[in-house]
Amino acid sequence: MLKQIERPTERPPAPGRVLSDFGPIYASSGFIGWLFAVTAPVAIILSVGSKGGLSEGEIASWIFGVFFINGLITILFCWLYRQPLAFFWTIPGTVLVGQSLTHLTFPQVVGAYYVTSALMLVLGATGSVKRAMELVPLPIVMGMVAGVFLRFGLDLVHAVFADIAIAGPMVAVWLLLSALPWLGQRCPPIIGALIVGAVATIALGKFDASAPLRLELIRPVLQEPAWSIAAMVELVVPLAITVLVVQNGQGIAVLKAAGHEPPINAVAVACGIGSAITALAGGISTCLTGPTNAILVGSGERKRQYTAGIVVGILAILFGLLAPTFTRLLLNAPKSLIAALAGLAMLRVLQSAFTTAFGSRFSLGALVAFLVTVADHPLLNVGAAFWGLIGGLAVSLLMERPDFAAKPKS
């Protein structure tokens, strides 16, 4: 079974070689990649955790798990494979869990994390990842994902109308930096939006300073899982799909386009192991990140880009250890800032989900998956996202049979 896991093609570099491969370009790429991960994606965790009724300590523990553990995995894989293999957590899965927390308890969700990790570990160790990816057509999956993500786009619009003084400048700066690539390369749009939003928040006196900020190390809140059939049915397969198909698929595509050969099965095994460990602290499933890896391969020599990944891992570990401080800082910010930041971060992802879902094949099945998910009516105590997948697949099997035989457009 373990023969399916790819071995490194050369020996891991000695410390001296790592230092000689390192340089300012890779330090900068690593810092920007890490900065992206600690802005909007963390805002999504805060939004989901707060609406799901989690305490500040539980949210901080979640953030610790997904940064500290995945930082260690990132350093290990970058060093072993000499590639920029940055691991964080599944953003679509986080949004999916937010929907589930409206009718499931957090221990039940954590129980689903463990089963998902076991499934990914088996798929990776047996080399079945590719076959598993093909079970449900990607357009139908992305129809479900678009339905889950839609709320963040709507929350962005609501934030602009509810607090134009904060959300308005954030949207304007995001649009400006996105429209001018030469400027956006110097300051990524989402980071520019965060800076402007923070300045507006402080200038308008909307930051809640009642709770004093201080540097504080994490004391993880260990979560005891609860085993619920409803949670397993609702979350395990969709979570595994968001990791192996949506997130890992993005990360692998980004790395291959840059000339790297990521170890697909080894990555899946790492996601399985990482997911089990982060679940101890309430953290969601590990994945190979797309956006951060895209930043890491954007500059420098290909054979030296792994050092930028090591920088990301080191910074992630430090951020995880100080998770209580950063969690309190963000929770004290106005809700409109968090909603606008999360919404802006999801715009491109939402656009991509719609494009993939309705671009060519399985468009009717994708539409059904989208509508059922947006309607958000649980059935048999199982959330709508799962039924969106089932409904979309059933409609495509009945109405779009030729699409199963047709080859996807390259």
Tokens encoding 224? 């005891």
Residues contacting residue 352 through CB under 8 Å, at least 6 positions apart: 142
Q: What is the pTM of this model?
A: 0.74
DSSP-derived 3-state class of residue 238:
helix
CA distance 350 to 360: 17
Residues in the chain, pLDDT under 50 = 410
Question: What does 123-174 look like in DSSP terms, one character per residue?
Answer: HHHTT-HHHHHTSS-HHHHHHHHHHHHHHHHHHHHHHHHH-HHHHHHHHHHH
Compute the distance between CA of residue 15 and CA of residue 20 in angstroms, rounded to an integer. Answer: 9
Q: Tell me, what's the pLDDT at 212?
A: 65
Give me the residues paired with residue 89 across strands: 286
pLDDT at res. 211: 62
